[in-house]
Amino acid sequence: MAVYDLCIVGAGMIGSAAARHASANSNVKVCLIGPQEPKVREANSGNEVFGTHYDEGRIARATATNPLWANLAKLSEERYRELENLSGIRFYHEVGALTVGTKTGRFIEQTKSSIKDYSNVEMLGNEELESKFPYLNFADSDEGIFEKRHAGYINPRKMVMAQIVVASNQGCDVIRDIVLNIENFEMGYKLLSERGKIIWTKKVLLATNAFTGLHKLLKNPVSYQSMPQTVTLASVSENTAKSLGNMPIVMYEGEGGRSWSKSYPRGSGGTIHFYLLPPIKYPDGKYYVKIGHSDEILKGSLELTDVRKWYCGSGDDELERELYTLVETVFNGIQFESHYGDACVTMVTPGKQPYVDHISSTLAVALGGNGYAAKSSDEIGRIAADLIIKSKWTCDMPRENFKVKFCNKSKL
């Protein structure tokens, strides 16, 4: 009977990164278990769990309103090219990142405080924004922070693939299945999969994102909310996509431009908050600009039993239409051809920080992307792999910031 040293449950962004880092040590026998992306997402297809990485673009930048997320992103970004070279898979598009918002507003000021390298940043007043990005329009009171390098977007599907290719080359076994139960024995764990496979392992790392609570993999569930995200994918012609070839990713929080849609829902401070990705070629061969919203305008979180259903839909129809109307007015002179909505779920922890923590000395978690973990997944996976294998905290940021909060007070 083969016994692994470590079994990582969840072959998504964080799990696959942890598998690569853990298996870099040839003395550690690692197994990564998790289903592949289904060809179609249908509620009656029998698929019970889905991944947040089922997309072609995720923002990557080393600035953020929260310094912890900025740091995790920076450390991960520093290894993107190395991972591309090791795997032979290109997933990083270093198109730059433009953060725009009301001058001296909270969003701009907090983002400024996370800037580590001013030589990589251009501060832009309204006129400079207009001349540098004539295809976008902003409010007169806005200012911009343009990160020229070490920022842009990653292809999350390809990044996961790259991590798995390297992990496999290092000897990690990859099992395409779902874990239904984890039983603890004196010498380790017995994992039972949906297809009836039994896996024995000395240690377990859970990287199961918003589905963590579904199969009761932990005796004492960790505290989180599943936030229903809607995005609009607005298609443009190939020529338009080429003309926007240098467009950076955009993050916005402010009053909004004069010509922008008036009906788009505003957050508690009366501001508009969205993110935007430049045209990206999707698997259907078309180019899409993607726009998404902030959590502030959501009505609430999903029940665990509804997460799967949400993944199989196209998001909130009304919000999708609002996002489309907004994107039409944020761009200057860009013709959109069609649009559709897509749905996804983020795992949000009470402190909006990730959980990288021991549940016991042989069971750990790497969870809680909070909407930011695609770009930061490599560093989160590395910290988690070191924690579970070496029982060491190899991160400069305080361990306290990554501690799990449980639903029930008594920690089992």
Ligand X SMILES: Cc1cc2nc3c(=O)[nH]c(=O)nc-3n(C[C@H](O)[C@H](O)[C@H](O)COP(=O)(O)OP(=O)(O)OC[C@H]3O[C@@H](n4cnc5c(N)ncnc54)[C@H](O)[C@@H]3O)c2cc1C
Residue numbers at the binding site for ligand X (CB under 6 A)? 9-15, 33-35, 49-53, 58-59, 156, 178-179, 207-209, 211, 215, 229, 231, 292, 344, 346, 369, 371-375, 377
Distance CA(92)–CA(111), nearest Å, equals 22
Burial group, residue 264, by CB count within 10 angstroms (0-12, 13-18, 19+): buried
Q: How far is the CB of 56 from ligand X (least distance, A)?
A: 11
10 versus 101: smaller Cβ distance to ligand X: 10
Q: How far is the CB of 373 from ligand X (least distance, A)?
A: 3
Distance CA(205)–CA(8), nearest Å, equals 5
240 versus 346: smaller Cβ distance to ligand X: 346
Q: How far is the CB of 292 from ligand X (least distance, A)?
A: 5
Q: How far is the CB of 41 from ligand X (least distance, A)?
A: 12
Alpha carbon of 202 to those of 8, 17, 90, 205, 405: distances in Å? 11, 20, 34, 11, 24
Strand, helix or coil for residue 83 = helix
38 versus 267: smaller Cβ distance to ligand X: 38
272 versus 291: smaller Cβ distance to ligand X: 291
Q: Which residue minimizes CB distance to ligand X? A: 12
- 309: Cβ contacts below 8 Å, ≥ 6 apart: 43
Q: How far is the CB of 127 from ligand X (least distance, A)?
A: 28
178 versus 383: smaller Cβ distance to ligand X: 178
- The sign of the CA dihedral 251, 254, 258, 259 is positive
Q: How far is the CB of 130 from ligand X (least distance, A)?
A: 25
Distance CA(150)–CA(22), nearest Å, equals 26
344 versus 385: smaller Cβ distance to ligand X: 344
Mark out the alpha helices in 212-301 (DSSP H runs).
238-243
Q: Which of 382, 406, 402, 408 is nearest to 8 (CA)?
A: 382
Mark out the alpha helices in 273-398 (DSSP H runs).
304-311, 317-330, 373-390
Q: How far is the CB of 59 from ligand X (least distance, A)?
A: 3
From edge to edge, which strands make up the β-sheet containing 92-93?
58-60, 152-154, 92-93
Report the residue count for the chain.
412
153 versus 260: smaller Cβ distance to ligand X: 153
